[in-house]
Chains A and B, each alone.
Chain A
Amino acid sequence: MRSIVPQSVWRWQIAAYLFLAGAGAGAVIVSVVGDFLGYAVAAKIALGFGVPAVAFSTLFLISDLGHPEKFFTAVLHPSTSWISRGVFILSGLIVSGGLVILLWVWPFGAVLDANQSLRAALEVITFIFAVATCTYTGILIGVIISRPFWNNPLLPILFLVSAVSTGIGGVFLFAPVASSVLGIAPGATAEFVKRLESADLILLVVEALAIYLYLALVFDRAPEAAGLLLKGELSGLFWGGFLGVGLIVPVAIELSAVVTHQAASQSLATLVAGASLLIGGFLMRLLILAAGIRSPLMVRTPFRVRPGF
């Protein structure tokens, strides 16, 4: 009997895109929500990480093409193709997010400060594109009915929760760098990072719950894929990599930070939590992609073999 092999059409390049675009768009969501809650400086740091990350992620998509030089023709079929729709969504996020960043920079900075309604409108548009970027990828692969592991309404939700969580992980890593480069006092972001830690704790619990529900849903519909993930070729990366490094490590760090009320923003622990969140986010996408194997082809055989023959 042949062993079941993982899906190999879309490999790590697509996983890297899904991860980086998700983390970037997640950071944009964090930024808009943070700005709304009054953390203006920290929101700029999150946006400064998020938009470039999304822009960079598209390079993985383009490099995976057989003809990267013609990538722009991928917009031609938005009526049915989620790749075409995705190009519009990504372009929308990069343009609107880039516009917000541009308007911070001298001499345009005064424009947004003077015009709060323009600022709010731009941020809302960017927020919508960011949510769309996180979720459309779940639809992109979720609409493929012959790959039952993906064909699941929870997938876009799972991608969204994980995107915001990995976006927070990116902010954990990026905030100290941005603070030192831009000369922002570390204390200005400490309060924001602390709030992010408790928010991410909730997100990770939701994510773990979503993963559990997801697996419960696909267990009957895609037994081969579930077996591949839980006890087959992918099981080591799933249990050790995604669940261990990507989920348990950050939950432990964030839980201890919340319980002990320590100012964790400067601590090494926050950096470790950020790194493990990013590793977990990448592994989740890599594993979901790899587990998306085709349904077996069913040959209708009213076949009768004589007993003992």
Chain B
Amino acid sequence: MPRWGMVIDLLKCIGCYGCQMSCKAEHATPPGVTLARVEVSETGTYPNVTRVNLPLLCMQCNNPPCESVCPTKATQQRADGIVWVDEEKCIGCKYCMIACPYGARYFVEDTNAYFGDQGLTPYETAGYAHHRPGVVQKCDYCRHRLDDGMAKGLVPGVDREATPACVINCMAKARFFGDLDDPTSEVSQLVARAQAFQLNPEFGTDPNTHYLPAGRSIVPVDPKDVTDGKR
């Protein structure tokens, strides 16, 4: 069984919001819901300042705090590590939104139109059929793309059709996707780098989404550095 993971290279990310838009296009999410998003901030003191583009999505934690707080077991973790919400079971108590350290969850009150009085566009009508109002939504690594792709014999992270939308649409190629349990996969080799990090590891969530820092020299992955795929 694979364990899906993502690596986001902050050095390559140019803050174009392409992941955010491709996610909205893939899932037809209502206004205010950005399952993938980019948070931009500035850091440092003049004149030593920099802009940090932080692309965010569900970290697909190995110890998901959203799962343990869910009172109805609507939030579940698959054997491949993907954390998802069974919308039939969710009662919309929003405790998971309180518990998620990464702000990766959204409560969909109702599916509003983007264009107000003009009503839903044909695209919205088709897309909103998948959204149940009154439940909490989250990124699930585009599990429909992974599952459908693998059913056709494709490899997630390698074949576009079986890879999350935000990854294949990243024009800077800053996002990598693959099996963290396979030490030869691209993501495993990137995670094996000493500089790779998880967001706020002190929360004990052990995310499957990893980052490479923005400030570093560009060094190609040396296979000698890769031992068993784990750091």
Please list the residues of chain A having a beta carbon within 8 angstroms of any beta carbon in chain B.
1-2, 9-10, 64-68, 70-71, 73-77, 80-84, 87, 141, 143-147, 292, 294-295, 297-305, 307-309
Q: How far is the CA of A15 from the CA of B92 in the complex (A)?
A: 17
In contact, A66 and B133 (Cβ under 8 angstroms): yes
Q: Which residues of B contact A (CB under 8 A)?
A: 10, 39, 41-44, 47-50, 52, 54, 56, 65, 68-73, 89-95, 97-103, 107-109, 133-136, 195, 197, 199-200, 203-204, 211, 213-216
Q: Do residues B215 and A294 form an inter-chain contact, with CB atoms below 8 A?
A: no
Instruction: Tell me which of B39, B133, B135, B203 contacts A145 (CB under 8 A).
Output: B203
Contact B199 A297 (CB under 8 A): yes
Taking a contact as CB atoms under 8 Å apart, the answer to whether A65 and B101 are in contact is no
B71, A87: Cβ atoms under 8 Å?
yes
Cβ-defined contact, A70 with B107, below 8 A: no
Contacting pair A83 B199 (CB below 8 A): no
Residues from chain A with Cβ under 8 Å of B109 in the complex: 66
Instruction: Choose one: A64, A145, A297; the contact of B102 (CB below 8 Å).
Output: A297
Question: Which residues of A have CB within 8 Å of B95?
Answer: 81, 83
Q: How many A-B contacts at CB < 8 Å in the complex? A: 134
CA distance A73 to B211 in the complex (A): 38
Report B-chain residues with C-beta under 8 Å of the C-beta of A308: 47
Closest to B105 in A: A9
CB distance from A92 to the nearest CB of B (A): 16
Q: How far is the CB of A296 from chain B (nearest CB, A)?
A: 9
Q: Which of B91, B103, B197 contacts A74 (CB 8 A)?
A: B91
A240 to B201: give the CA distance in the assembly, Å.
39
Known: A295-B101, A301-B214. 18 other contacts (CB 8 A): A10-B94, A10-B98, A65-B92, A65-B93, A66-B90, A67-B135, A70-B91, A74-B93, A76-B73, A81-B68, A83-B71, A143-B69, A144-B65, A292-B98, A299-B199, A300-B213, A302-B216, A305-B48
* Chain A residues with CB below 8 A from B89, complex form: 73
A299 close to B213 (CB less than 8 A): yes
Output the residue of B69, B92, B199 with the most chain A CB within 10 A. B69
A309–B44 Cα distance when bound, in Å, is: 13
Asked whether B10 lies within 8 Å of A141 as measured between CB atoms, the reply is no
